[in-house]
Structure 1
Amino acid sequence: MFDSPFGMITLEKNIFTLQKCFTPKRLDSNKRDLSIDGKFALLQLNQEFKCVCKLQARNDLILLEHFQLDPSVIVFSNTIKGSDGLPSKSIISNCRYSNVKCITIFPLVVNLKKISITLIFEDVRNVTLWRNQMGTLCNIVKDMMKMFTITNKCIVSLENLNVSQRCGLCYIIIHSIGHKNMVGKVDSTTNIFISSIVSRERFEQLQNDNVQKLGGLDNPYQTLKEIVSYHSKFGRIAKDNKLKACQQVLLIGPPGCGKTSLVHLVASDCQATLVNLLGPEVCRPSPGDTELQLRKVFEHAIELAQESGCCILLLDEVDTVPQTTRAFTQLLLLLEQVDRTPGLVVVATTSRPYALPASARRPGRLETEIYIGVPSEKERAEILATLLSDTCPMSLNLCKRVAHLTPGFVGADLALLCQHVALDKLNRQGDERDSQDIFLAAIAKMRPCSLRSGLGVVTTLPAALSDIGGLYRVKQEVRAAVEWPLIHSEAFRRLGLPQPRGVLLYGPPGCAKTSLARALAASTNTTFLSVSAAELYSPFVGDAERSVVELFHRARLGAPTILFIDEIDALVGSRGDRQRGVQERVLSALLTEMDGVGIKLETLSSVQHQENNVLVVAATNRPDLLDDALLRPGRFDKIVYVPPPDETSRKDILNVLTRDMPLAEDVDLHSVALATQLCSGADLTNLCREAGLCALTEEGMDVQQVKNKHFQKVLDKLKPSLTQSQIDWYTSYKR
């Protein structure tokens, strides 16, 4: 063992430097001379790898503290579980920048009688070719091995030999030479036993230990693993006995939910070879090239399945393959032929299953469908714990807290969130803020990918019901209908109480119906989507109905969601009016979605298949225009009248509105409340704003307070937006 490690420089690859190691004549001025010239030695490069070389002293080395060696024969310690002694880590990448820490001299080199080896070929076609010519292959390998000095559990790189390139060999793995702690050479009498032949592609995939761990996907993982494991173990037996097992899977889920990562994880755990084909990569500009590319990929996957016993062909984003061309027809024909190849499993992924024709999803093609929904709160906590297990471990309670605050987030969103938190911690070294504060700040800046743009997406500002003055009875009713089922869900399940599907707020204009819906969403940490008739209607036939379906689809992706429909009377109306054809179709689509008939299985959580993940809150000032089918229980279960503010409520509203406004001592809000009969909450908001502007106008920009005279001046011009006849109408309509 050296006091300090020597550096290592890799020699140029050629036949003359094969397995050579050039060292300075004196390794160190503080060490005794070693008679090592011309002897074989074991050089320790790191904890896992050692190199077998023939030492030669050199006085002309420019770098006196470096070994110059050819790492053609590397000894490894760790092997891949269940792989017949293959090294568990890449030799080239782990030995490229190593240092020589220790030298062990071998006293002699023995002639080997028998060795056990595995051959690694550059291409899977070479594996198929040489499996039928084992006798010739043994002779070629024996001639190659005569040039090397080997030991137990080592890998021989053949980059220096031209003959290896001609036959397609790249590595020879030595399992046993029949002697312990010794090196030996192969001669003409040595018996060579080839235990297995492996392609380089499969070898490198078996060595890959960077497969991402996943959380919250237990059910899809087990389902897919059972399918792949069956073919890995019993594929050929089932084929011989004419037993047909599932070989084609369609993996469905929203973008970023972990479909591709799941396939990679299953392939790694089952030690199946993986061939990845991205849908857009299939397309070629020249006629016929796309079909040719598809055939090549399937042929390659078939060869790998014949080699390893099991191969997964991943068709990522299969919905992007053009369906109106010969390419898709070619894909369907190739899918039909998959059953003829035992061990080949085709897994296609898509986030748009409705974009695939029924011909692709029938038995014999993509016959088994596995759905991955938007993760539930429990699954999000599992995903966070997995993502942070290696980089930033945090408590289970914090994982649950963050999971509660991230409705609608999929795995990719949570991974990005964790990345932002890690970068924030790195930038704020020495900051005393705890992890929860950092996560809360990162969550406030993020939005799940399914809700970043599109129909109904709004920014929910922090709000609370206490910011809305008055409406004490209304607040209690909407809390019971909206907050309680979400916050006290266990109590509702215990009593068998279903969540309401919808809440209808009706009342005069300007009485805080919209503000109530926004405050409810903010107070319950739910996704809030808002839409009006102007956003849904389109001049094209069918577009409005499709927008309704898309809106509910987005709401379910972000569940739990409060879907707010403002001025619903302008959107759907009543079916009694024959002149409203578009409204009738939109109403039918809305009723279908609210009843849950339009729920697609792929949009649901993979754990909690709840019907009431979406609560529809609608507002209208013309409830008489709504169809009776909307107002029955099971759709809008709760119908809440939002009345105009009375005297007490007006004073409460004024207190809230002037909370940040400096008022003079002569301002009496009670008197202002008395003087604002028939004023709505919107009128009172306008009153306070105009009073402030009046103060700025009369007393200049340096004014410090708003005085009573400013309020009185505005009151003199104020015209209430409500009339007594309106209030009487709503009172008489009250259901």
Structure 2
Amino acid sequence: MAGWLDELPSPADVALRALGELLVGVADRPPKSENAERFTTRCLGLPSYGAVIDEDRDLNGVTRVTVALALAELIEEHADVVEIGPGEYTDAPAWTQVEIGNRAYHHPQHLQAAFPAGTLLSEIPCVVRICTRTSALNSPEVTAFVARDHQAGARAVLDRLMARGNVLHPYRGMVCRASLDHGLRLQVIDLPASLTRETVVVDESVWHEIDLGIIAVRDRHELLNRHGLGARRGVLLVGPPGTGKSAVSVVIANELVGVFTVIYVEARAGAELLTAVVEEAQRLGGPVLMVLEDVDLWCQDRRTGGSGGLAELLMAMDINPDARILTLASTNDAQTLDAAAIRTGRFDSIIEVNYPDRPAAGRILSALLAGLPAGAVVDTAAVVARLPEMTSGSDLREIVRRAVLSAVDGDDISTATLLAEVGSGRYRATAPTGAYI
């Protein structure tokens, strides 16, 4: 062929060589990139996408992690036969990593995984697509594709993923904050480790009522549920600001974390997603401490017109009375709450956390001074005697803080410096009165 071309006149030679190169290039062109539909059809061995049927499940901020971890486990288990394809359209397969507590979890973010017959389903192949991204046009979901005659198989695959995700739940045994972020979102948080029952001084009845709830949820749930009494408990702490309600929840959370999963519920999440939080708590499968701080911010008496999240609270508190959930809530004023919210069966105990009396104030002051330079020689009785009525634990903390800051290098804190701070009254952040023109 080369010799024949060489004998041709120049214009014909150039034209035929160019045409040959063009034809060879067309023949060798790589096939058109596979989109999601072509990948699914090919891996299922079907003639067209019309022969495919799918089942899908919406994912929230928690299940988009747990289900993705379950899928990652299946991909690794069948790595020798599984085929990874694009997500929607021709989006490249994508993986991501999330930090939960002190551990990093690697899982698929946006891809399709084709499992041959005999892996997920005994007789037929299955394709699983997951998308954990959230955008204005897309919401997280997981989808299983099978041939039209095997829809029950797709449902079984999704059930398996959801169940395995609950087993792998990375938030179990952690202290989390539940927030509203395109649905429910959990985030691991740290709590002060210095707060204990010895350093948080409240009436013993507070600890007693909370301990009853702990016993019900942790130790005697089977007995209570077997006799139809219900293991779920609710405790409402009522009292003025600064008296230790939040500190009590921290103490209990630190005591229970590990055995319990602790979920602090933000106000917006409580008003709109408390039922989702309770449902997630049930999926965890173990005892859960659910903390609702300042519940009056979002759940008020319907007669005042400020019911806010009342309906959400009532619905959430009535879900499954057998659940192993201890709810610890707090409010500055129980009178602002609707009567339906604080009845027995929702909140079984309503405990007042009031201003400390003189002996309790002395114990709080001693705990705050413990370990400080010269703190052991402070005459706490003299300081407590000068305290005005309705001095809270947080007021005492600020008195000590100001004394430390006022002292030279913090080394000469004394009875005199503490008394000076008490006398100044500046430890209470009081807003000025009057009008400014």
Which residue does 2:126 correspond to in 1? 313
Q: What one-letter code is carried by the residue in structure 1 that aligns with 2:264?
A: S
Shift of 1:374: 6.0
Cα deviations across residues 115-162 of structure 1 (Å, max 9, x unaligned)?
xxxxxxxxxxxxxxxxxxxxxxxxxxxxxxxxxxxxxxxxxxxxxxxx
RMSD: 4.8
Residue type at the aligned position of 2:316: E
SS in 2 for 1:314: strand
Partner of 2:263: 529
Within-5 A mapping of 1:249-648: 254=63, 255-256=65-66, 259-260=70-71, 276=83, 281-284=87-90, 310-317=123-130, 337-339=147-149, 346=154, 371-372=162-163, 375=166, 408=172, 454=185, 458-462=189-193, 463-482=195-214, 485-487=217-219, 489=221, 497-525=229-257, 526-533=260-267, 535-536=268-269, 546-552=272-278, 555-556=281-282, 560-578=287-305, 580=306, 583-584=307-308, 586-596=309-319, 611-648=322-359
1:675 aligns with 2:386: yes
Distance 1:664 1:460 in 2: 25
- Contact map agreement 1:467 1:656 (CA 8 A) in 2: yes
Q: Which amino acid in the other structure matches residue 637 of structure 1? A: D
Q: Which structure 1 segments of 5+ residues have no match? A: 1-246, 286-296, 351-367, 384-405, 410-445, 537-543, 598-609, 723-735
Amino acid at match of 2:303: G
* CA distance, structure 2, for counterparts of residue 591 and residue 265 of structure 1: 43
Q: Does 2:363 align with 1:658?
A: no
Change (3 A) 1:532 1:317: closer
2:420 is the alignment partner of 1:709: no
Instruction: Indicate how the Cα distance of structure 1 residues 311 and 455 shifts in structure 2: closer, same or farther if over 3 A, else same.
Output: closer
**Alignment-mate amino acid for residue 402 of structure 2:** E
3-state secondary structure, aligned to 1:715: helix
Change (3 A) 1:311 1:264: farther
Give the share of equivalent positions with the same residue, in percent: 20
- With normalisation by structure 2, the TM-score equals 0.61
Note the alpha carbon deviations across 1:542-588, whole angstroms, 9 max, x for none.
xx85444454455556563322222211211111123x3xx44x211
Tell me if structure 2 keeps the 8 A contact 1:691–1:706. Answer: yes
Distance verdict in 2 for CA 1:477–1:310, change over 3 Å: closer
Give, in angstroms, the shift of residue 248 of structure 1.
7.9
Out of 391, 403, 406, the residue aligned to residue 691 of structure 1 is: 403
Q: TM-score, normalised by structure 1?
A: 0.39
1:331-376 CA-to-partner distances (Å, cap 9, x unmatched) read: 99x85x53189xx9547866xxxxxxxxxxxxxxxxx78741665x
* Structure of greater Rg: 1
Q: State the structure with bigger RCO (CA 8 A, min sep 6), 1 or 2.
A: 2
Task: Specify every segment of 5 or more residues in structure 2 that has no aligned partner in the other structure, as ranges.
Answer: 1-52, 92-111, 430-437
Cα 1:251–1:265 shift into 2, 3 Å = farther
Contact 1:679 1:721 in 2 (8 A): no
Cα distance change on mapping 1:264 and 1:499 into 2, 3 Å = same
- 1:657-682 Cα deviation digits (max 9, x unpaired): 11122336762212222222421111
Which residue identity is paired with 1:711?
L
Alpha-carbon distance in 1 for matches of 2:78, 2:177: 27
Decide whether the 8 Å contact of 1:658 with 1:688 is kept in 2: yes
Task: Determine the C-alpha separation between the residues in 2 that align with 1:709 and 1:309.
Answer: 81
1: CA distance, partners of 2:376 / 2:272: 57
